Amino acid sequence: MDESSLTLIEKTFTFQECEDSQSLTVSIPEVLDSQYGMYVWPCAVVLSQYVWMAREELQNKTVLELGAGVSLPGVVAAKCGARVMLSDSAELPLCLRNCRRSCDANNLPGVPVLGLTWGRVSPELLSLTPLDVILGSDVFYEPEDFEDVLVTVSFLVRRNPHAQFWTTYQERSADWSIDALLHKWDLKCTNVPLEIFEANKTHLAGSTLPGNHTVQMMIITRKVF
Ligand SMILES: C[S@@+](CC[C@H](N)C(=O)[O-])C[C@H]1O[C@@H](n2cnc3c(N)ncnc32)[C@H](O)[C@@H]1O
């Protein structure tokens, strides 16, 4: 599909800490299309708020975003001074193009965009440089993919034992759980209450996206025996 046949809408997000004069505004072009990776999901705004609040810790850290789609959290991390790589499925070139377009919209020409399909040990995955943080917003949305996501995360944290996977998910069914899979892939998870990073709001970063959705934040790391 050529670029001129797409209908793009640019959304703006402004992150600011209470009683702090610093702020960050980023623009994310969304595509008018019903595919998953074409627009910003509520989880992305919540994860981006976490990234913004952790901005000092992220300076000069190497960060990889999985299933990035339009890449709000990765763009925020790059703007905060992290060395960011964005990725989406190697089989979804339109989503990879969205990652690139979000970088272009925020003057981030040096951010690499990689095709990384969850659960697949590809040459791109094997040749990644050492990582500090992995980001994943709304990557647990299709139960049949949960294990593939965690296989990739498990592979990455085995190679980078100190790395953390920062992820947000939207509660869509009380029956869904990743607990058994975390155990199977030697991972552990800590829930991060939203109020700790000022994300327990229906409006965030100037966006109404969080609304009444129930979004949770977790940090997943390697289980040490
Ligand atoms: C619900 S969307 C979330 C997009 C973005 N992270 C956000 O929160 O705005 C899920 C994302 O995962 C990507 N995805 C789906 N299956 C994938 C796979 N097997 N490997 C890698 N990425 C995948 C989609 O292309 C899409 O960008």
What number of H helices and E strands is found in the chain?
Answer: 7, 9
pLDDT of residue 4: 66
> Which whole number is the average pLDDT over 124-150?
97
Say which residue, 7 or 118, is predicted with more confidence.
Answer: 118
For residue 1, the model assigns a pLDDT of 64
The stretch 181-194 carries a mean pLDDT of 97
pLDDT of residue 175: 85
Mean pLDDT estimate for the chain = 94
Rounded to whole angstroms, the Cα distance separating 92 from 84 reads 20
117 CB less than 6 Å from ligand 1?
A: yes
Q: Is the CB of 30 under 6 A from ligand 1?
A: no
**Pick from 17, 41, 13, 16: which is nearest to 26 by CA?**
13
Ligand 1 and 141: CB distance under 6 A: yes
Q: Which residue, judged by its Cα, is nearest atom 11 of ligand 1?
A: 67
Cβ of residue 152 lying under 6 Å from some atom of ligand 1 = no
The residues facing 137 across adjacent strands are 168
Res 19: pLDDT: 66
For 79-100, what is the mean pLDDT?
96
Give the fold, CATH level 3, of 9-222: Rossmann fold (3.40.50)
Return the pLDDT at 29: 94
- The answer to whether the CB of 222 falls within 8 A of the CB of 158 is yes
pTM for the whole thing? 0.96
The single-letter code of the amino acid at 219 is: I
Ligand 1 closest atom vs CA 117: 20
CA of 68 to the centre of ligand 1 (A): 6
Enumerate the β-bridge partners of residue 113. 86
Domain ranges of the chain: 9-222
